[in-house]
Amino acid sequence: MKTGKIPESVLKRSVLRQLHNRRDEVLLGAGVGEDCAALTLEADEVFVMSTDPITGTGKEMGSLAVITTANDLASSGAEPVGVMLTILLPEESEEALLKEIMRDAEATCEKFHMQILGGHTEVSAAVNRPVISVSGVGKVKKDAMIKTGGARPGMDIVVSKWIGIEGTVILAKERERELRGRYATTFIDRSMALDASISVLPEAAVAARSGVSAMHDVTEGGIFGALWEMAEASGVGLEIDLKKIPIRQETVEVCEFFGVNPYLLISSGCMLMAAQDGNHLVRELEKAGIKATIIGKATAGNDRVLLNEDERRFLEPPKTDELYKVIGR
């Protein structure tokens, strides 16, 4: 395709014809020449909005764009409604790539009952690989919204599933050939199959009705970055037991192979939560078939401490995600 906004024929054929999911809240959605989307809410509801770039992978970008934004919305206790996608493609990209991205995004929207509300698609010399910027909108009752900054001293800090899920999946898919030089096909398949766990919508729904006080989707910067961000937003300290942070063997081995730190690796699929009664929250999540672990407590003051047996060290502000040490090499 040529540089510039995609032709109307391509827009209709490879974008608009892929869109089938509809939400009742959407008054105006995607269409030729439409500059905006319009939605309506009930009187006791508020909009929640989020935005993310998808730059760290070229595999299944459309799906990942929707899941990532849906996770952010769910962490506020909101029900995801829809997304707007800005897709930038490098020069000489084939139309088939655009159609694949849209099909992936639409299939994921169907899974989570969301609608693609609109967006923009362009071929540009400014990028050398596909880039998606996604903006999402959700809805929540005014009195039910949950913040990252809701943790208070004495609360239990809980995580769902395992850290490093998304990073493990991306590395396994993007660098499959390298991994096959050391690992069996079954191991690589298991690593890729973790993509089924990247959504945190199920645990967010359970947590929201189980007394959770704060939630934060663990994304770029890994669990260490997410812990810092929750503590900073809440104005609390932390005491975290490093050995209690759950991590799968696939993640350990993939990270060891590429020389990256799993605690600083993008971790969509893991929800960080704070609750007055962490044991109750864990029980409710496990009743729903979702693994959850108490990894520490929020404390008074500003000290954010990582405990590893007799070792005690301070958590540092978020760093560049470890994924970028590998992707782009």
Task: Give the H or E element holding residue 204.
Answer: helix 201-208
Q: What pLDDT shows up at residue 328? A: 66
The confidence score (pLDDT) of residue 102 equals 96
Domain holding 92, by residue range, is 4-144
Q: In angstroms, rounded to a whole number, what is the distance separating the alpha carbons of residues 15 and 80? A: 21
Asked if 76 and 162 sit in the same domain, the reply is: no
Q: Is 78 in the same domain as 27?
A: yes
> How far apart, in whole angstroms, are the C-alpha atoms of residue 132 and residue 268?
17
* Chosen domain end from 144, 176, 205: 144
Distance of CA 310 to the CA centre of its chain: 33
- Find out whether 285 and 206 touch, Cβ atoms under 8 Å: yes
Please name the residues in contact with 181: beta carbons below 8 A apart, sequence gap of 6 or more.
none
One pLDDT digit (tens) per residue for the chain, 329 residues: 878 888 889 999 999 999 998 999 999 999 998 889 999 999 999 999 999 999 877 788 999 999 999 999 999 999 999 999 999 999 989 999 999 999 999 999 999 999 999 999 999 999 999 999 999 999 999 999 999 999 999 999 999 999 999 999 999 999 999 999 999 999 999 999 999 999 999 999 999 999 999 999 999 999 999 999 999 999 999 999 999 999 999 999 999 999 999 999 999 999 999 999 999 999 999 999 999 999 999 999 999 999 999 999 999 999 899 999 998 65
Residues 171 and 112 in one domain: no
Q: Concatenated DSSP letters for 144-194?
A: G--BGGG--TTPEEEEES-BTHHHHHHHHHHTHHHHHTTS-HHHHHHHHHG
CA distances from 187 to 193, 256, 258 (A): 10, 14, 15
pLDDT value at residue 300: 97
What is residue 215's predicted lDDT score, i.e. its pLDDT? 98
Write 199-202 long-range contacts (CB < 8 A, 24+).
Answer: 199/67, 199/70, 199/71, 199/112, 199/269, 200/71, 200/74, 200/75, 200/160, 200/268, 200/269, 200/270, 200/271, 201/70, 201/71, 201/74, 201/80, 201/112, 202/288, 202/290
The domain boundary residue, chosen from 97, 117, 144 = 144
Provide the CATH number for the domain around residue 88: 3.30.1330.10
Same domain? For 125 and 137 the reply is: yes
Looking at the fold, whether 82 and 212 belong to one and the same domain comes out as no
* Domain count across the chain: 2
Q: Are residues 113 and 177 in the same domain?
A: no
140/152 same-domain check: no
The pTM for the full model equals 0.92
pLDDT at site 183:
95
* Residues making up the chain, counted from first to last: 329
Check: CB of residue 292 under 8 Å from CB of residue 285.
Answer: yes
CATH number for 170: 3.90.650.10
Give the model's pLDDT for residue 134: 96
Do 29 and 89 fall into the same domain? Answer: yes
Domain boundary among 126, 144, 162: 144
